[in-house]
Amino acid sequence: MTSALIAIRDAAAAVDSDGLYSPAKEKAANNRGVYSGRSPLLHRRLRQLLDGPRVKLLLFLCLLCLLVLFASRLDSLIGWNPHYPSFVSSPCSTREACVSTIEGENACLRQLPWPRCLCLLLVLLFYNVLIYEARTLQNRHRSGVGHGGTGGYTVLINTWKRNSLLKQSVAHYASCGGTDAIHVVWSESDPPSHSLKAYLNNIVLSKSQTSQKTNFKFDINKEDNLNKRFKPIEDLRTNAIFSVDDDVIVPCRTLDFAFAVWQTAPFTMVGFVPRMHWLDQEVLFWGGNSRTRSAEDEAEADFLRSTDTSTKKNGITYFKYEGWWSVWWMGTYSMVLSKAAFFHRKYLDLYTHKMPSSIYDYITRERSCEDIAMSLLIANATDAPPIWVKGKIYEIGSSGISSLIGHSKRRNKCLNDFISLYGTMPLVPTNVKAVDARHEWFW
């Protein structure tokens, strides 16, 4: 088993030396584009520029200040001077004296500098924030984030008999500036209809934000096998693969930020759905036995937990697969699920050809847990944890398989079976979270 692990890591090192992105090739490819996307790109950049919470708040305050300033000078603008009506007793002895007094008070109020000073201060602050956001957006454009950059990314959509969701997903990801290509993993018994192909091709052409139009293709499989989700793809122009389910929508700005994070660590897994493995204390210390535990037994278990978390029961260490609430409560994770995650394209080849065949056959037989297998594969090849990106994602479909009864037990079984087949625990826990501080007040 150790030799299998070494073989996977050697294969990963071999793939690193091939297929790396060439900026010159990408520039030459972009220059060959025949479509002009200047107007959509300009509109998108302006929307990105004004979409930050700080810019929105300052713009609101500036508008409010202008309204206050306008209201303070309303009387002089319309030539109206307030005075007391005849049926109300006036504190002035004569009407002329009353009007003179009121005009003097208004003149004093108009001489107060605070409305103008406040408006000027807010306008200057808004201008500075706007310039900062514009420079940041320009730097992102020059570095390629959101516009292909170092090859952009290929969106790999996994679908199954949900054409309406597929149409929404393809339309959305085609509108993201960093999308270089969209591949749909199709494993249904019947091939996609001509009308569906035509519709999606038209959507991609109309939604593409770059001068070089996004490639679109169906990857048709002859059998329904979850392993085919990660089969190698020919003629890829990007190193980055964004794997996503057909019912998951990640906003383009959030997706571009995650791509920028992935560029800093291109051989790790970067995603939005974190999970964690914990030592299963119940199985570890009691072997699943429900016997009555004495106080001495509990004291011994507490001591072992506090001193050695790798202690085994009957020579086997058991782990529990924990979901989102565990990550939120403990602040620790060791996996990001492939339902919304970036990884390098070399892992498609490693998954298909270098991963232990026993794991590949297990997924084929059980029809589950291919995402756990990919997390283990990447962790084993890198000896590094994944990166969780904070960002809103939207699930547009109905409740998934995670809501089914027995799902947690199946995941626990998969995790422990895979670890036993590897002969070690490749996953590396971490507390790191990537946050786009430009769009967060608290981070």
pLDDT of residue 154: 96
Residue 100 has phi, psi (to 5 degrees) of: -65, -40
Q: For 296-302, what is the mean pLDDT?
A: 50
CA angle 91, 95, 98 (to 5 degrees): 50
**Distance in angstroms (rounded) separating the CA atoms of residues 92 and 381:** 90
Q: Do residues 157 and 249 touch, judged by C-beta distance below 8 A?
A: no
With 80 as the cut, is the pLDDT of residue 133 above it?
no
Quickly state the pLDDT bin for 28 (edges 50, 70, 90). very low
Report for 108-117, 149-158, 420-429: range of highest mean pLDDT: 420-429
Six-digit token string for 27: 């520039």
pLDDT interval class at 216 (50, 70, 90):
very high
DSSP assigned state of 345: T
Per-residue pLDDT at 299: 52
User: What is the average pLDDT across 413-433?
Assistant: 92
Of 215, 155, 153, the residue nearest 185 (C-alpha): 155
To the nearest 10°, report the CA torsion of 41, 45, 46, 49. Answer: 180
Q: What percent of the chain has pLDDT over 70?
A: 55
Domain spans in the chain, listed from the N-terminal domain onward: 2-26+152-270+336-374+384-405, 52-143
Nearest to 153 by CA among 214, 197, 218, 226: 214
Q: What is the mean pLDDT of residues 19-23?
A: 43
What is the DSSP code (8-state) at residue 383? S
Task: Give the residue from 440, 427, 336 showing the smallest Cα distance to 389.
Answer: 336
- Catalytic site residue from 371, 383, 417, 436: 371
CA dist 401 and 380 (Å) reads 27
**End-to-end Cα separation, the chain, in angstroms:** 43
Greater confidence (371 vs 10) lies with 371
Please state the rounded mean pLDDT for residues 228-233.
Answer: 93
Q: What angle do CA 48, 52, 53 make, to 5 degrees?
A: 160
Q: Print burial letters for 189-227: b (CB count within 10 Å at least 16), e (below 16).
A: eeebeeebeebbeebbeebbbbbbbbbbbbbeeeeeebb
Residue 410 CA to residue 417 CA, distance in Å, equals 10
The angle subtended at Cα 52 by Cα 51 and Cα 54, nearest 5°, is 135
Mean pLDDT of 405-425: 87
Instruction: Quickly name the fold that domain 2-26+152-270+336-374+384-405 has.
Output: Spore Coat Polysaccharide Biosynthesis Protein SpsA; Chain A (3.90.550)
Q: What does the pLDDT look like over 255-288, one tens digit per residue?
A: 999 999 999 999 999 999 999 998 876 554 444 4
Residues 239-262 have a mean pLDDT of 95
Least trusted range by pLDDT, from 111-115, 127-131, 327-331: 111-115
pLDDT over threshold 80, residue 304: no
Q: According to the model, what pLDDT value does residue 57 have? A: 66
Active site residue 349: no
pTM for this structure? 0.67
